[in-house]
Every structure is written in structure tokens, then in C-alpha cells.
């Protein structure tokens, strides 16, 4: 958990050769949770109704939150939120820069959302993913 988390996971993995490589994951779940929350709020739905949300890339401003495959209540997100400009011009940059916005506002990152995302990531790793859904993890 740190920027860039994919790079940090790789560095840790390369410097801990006795640990199994499959045990290293980058916490892209934090970004996934942020993306789900943004779509849920925009749609007026609860966070848990948002599925099939993935984050492509690193935990940085270059990441791509995947709204094309996301669903809200089982319906494609773009059919629920019929505002492509919002997805392109607000959603994507907001998800990619949310951590920086929190640091700018409060002078520190949100430990609470990081803790929740860590628990969510571990749960997703040890619990079967529901059919038709996915979760984000830099591996």
C-alpha cells in the first residue's frame, strides 16, 4: 500500500525470494472501491449494487477505472448513468486523483478507506468471486 503500489509490490517480491510470489498483491482495491462509490452516488444507488468494476494500471493518475464493463444493479453502468461526459471528465479523473485530493484537504491520506480496502481485498482473495463479477488486484 503505497505509491506506486504495483512497483512497491514488485520491489518487495524481488527482495523476498523465500516468500511465494503469489502472496504479493498491490492494493488496487482502494481505487476499485472509490470507483464503485462514485458510480453509486451518481446513480443514487448503494455501493454494493455496483459490480464488475476493475482498475487497469497502477495506483496513480495514469490508472483507468473500467466503467465500460461495470454494472449497477445488474444493468450496464452506462445504461444507468447516461452521461458519457461525466464518465470521461469527472469519474475517471476523480477516481485517479482521490488520494491526492484527500491529502491536499486534510494533510494526510485516509487510513480508514485504506483499512476497509485491505479487508475487502483479503476477503476477495479468500472468498469465491460471485459469478459474473470481478475484483481488482495488482498481481
25 is catalytic: no
Whether 84 contacts 78, CB under 8 Å: yes
- Return the closest-CA partner of residue 43 out of 20, 12, 16, 75: 75
Choose, from 59, 71, 121, 138, the residue flagged as catalytic.
59
- Return the closest-CA partner of residue 5 out of 109, 87, 106, 126: 109
Look up cell 450496464; give the residue. 76
Catalytic sites, residue numbers: 59
Amino acid at each position: 500500500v503505497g505509491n506506486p503500489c504495483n512497483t512497491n509490490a514488485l520491489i518487495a517480491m524481488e527482495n523476498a525470494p523465500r516468500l511465494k510470489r503469489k502472496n504479493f498483491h498491490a492494493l488496487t482495491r482502494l481505487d476499485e472501491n472509490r470507483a464503485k462509490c462514485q458510480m453509486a452516488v451518481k446513480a443514487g444507488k448503494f455501493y454494493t449494487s455496483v459490480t464488475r468494476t476493475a482498475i487497469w494500471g497502477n495506483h496513480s493518475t495514469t490508472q483507468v477505472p473500467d466503467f465500460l464493463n461495470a454494472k449497477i444493479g445488474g444493468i450496464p453502468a452506462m445504461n444507468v448513468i447516461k452521461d458519457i461526459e461525466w464518465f470521461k471528465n469527472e469519474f475517471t479523473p476523480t477516481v485517479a486523483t482521490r488520494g491526492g485530493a484527500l491529502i491536499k484537504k486534510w494533510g494526510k491520506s485516509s487510513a480508514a478507506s485504506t483499512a476497509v480496502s485491505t479487508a475487502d481485498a483479503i476477503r476477495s482473495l479468500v472468498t469465491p468471486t460471485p459469478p459474473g463479477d470481478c475484483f481488482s488486484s495488482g498481481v
